[in-house]
Amino acid sequence: MHDESPADLLDLDAEVHLGYLEGLVEWIADRSTPRVIVDVGAGTGTGTRALAERFPEAELIAVDRSPQMLARVRDIAGQYGFQDRVDTVEADLDAGWPAVESADLVWAALSLHHVRDPAVFLQQLHASLNPGALLVVVEMESQPRFLPDDIGIGTPGLEARAHTLAAERGWNNHPDWSDDLERAGFDVEAVRRTEIDLDGNTTTARTYARTVLSKLRKGLGNGLSADDLDTLNRLCADHGPDSLPTRTDLRVRSNRTAWAARKLDRGAN
């Protein structure tokens, strides 16, 4: 069986969704010209890199609780030449907002729903930001979908059943953050919902599909039927007539939502 590390999965997700990421950063650039950017839950630094390239004058602070992830951020910064503009901060956001330089732009991609008490976190974040600063929160509605309903093996509807079970277990659970952001003192300027549908018949997309479905098989195994587990095993195998590397019917489909929320300058009037 084929299993990637969490860091590898993040990198695969970023590579497959590069066009979406670039479009989202342009959407941000229409609203902000930041001097200091904080990437909250930076992971392997794909967001940090995209922001560094789009805002070449900005200083960046990557925040994550994993020293291994932050090491990858530093590696990427060195590889792409922005190492002199990036600092890394190891911090557990459940323990409170870290003492970082006040920012003009905060990027929280696929990270806010992991925070234990988002209301407290957002209030602390709001208090730390410069007046007029922008917070961008990005979430995905569920695990990506790759397969048609009937894949020729097993019982049709495999992914739908797996996603229903994942939702019941709290995977990717997040609210519409608009109310939470408003209660914390932000003004929600815009919400951008994007339906993603990409060709899944590339080497990277197939690897991404196999990694995500392997994660579903491993994480939901005790809740799936023996038939569904067998189908997932056949799909995620390295070789075989039903394995993902041999299929030609794959798509990468998901929905992602971004919120752009402003800390208003109360002294402007």
- Both tokens of 139, joined, read 């979430």
CA-based nearest residue to 68, from 46, 99, 42: 42
Give Cα separations from 220 to 6, 111, 144 (angstroms): 17, 22, 15
Residue type, 43: G
- Both tokens of 35, joined, read 């001097």
Q: What are phi and psi of 79, to 5 degrees?
A: -65, -35
Is 5 or 131 the better-scoring residue by pLDDT?
131
- Predicted TM-score (pTM) of the model is 0.91
Under 8 Å CB-to-CB from 140, ≥6 apart: which residues?
Answer: 110, 172, 254, 255, 256, 257
pLDDT tens digits for 77-87?
A: 999 999 999 99
Under 8 Å CB-to-CB from 155, ≥6 apart: which residues?
Answer: 225, 227, 228, 231
pLDDT value for 1: 45
Q: Give the orientation angle of helix 46-54 with respect to helix 18-29, to 10 degrees.
A: 50
pLDDT tens digits for 56-96?
A: 999 999 999 999 999 999 999 999 999 999 999 999 999 98
pLDDT value for 267: 54
pLDDT at 3 over 70: no
From the CB of residue 21, how many other CB atoms can be counted at a distance below 10 Å? 21
pLDDT value for 175: 83
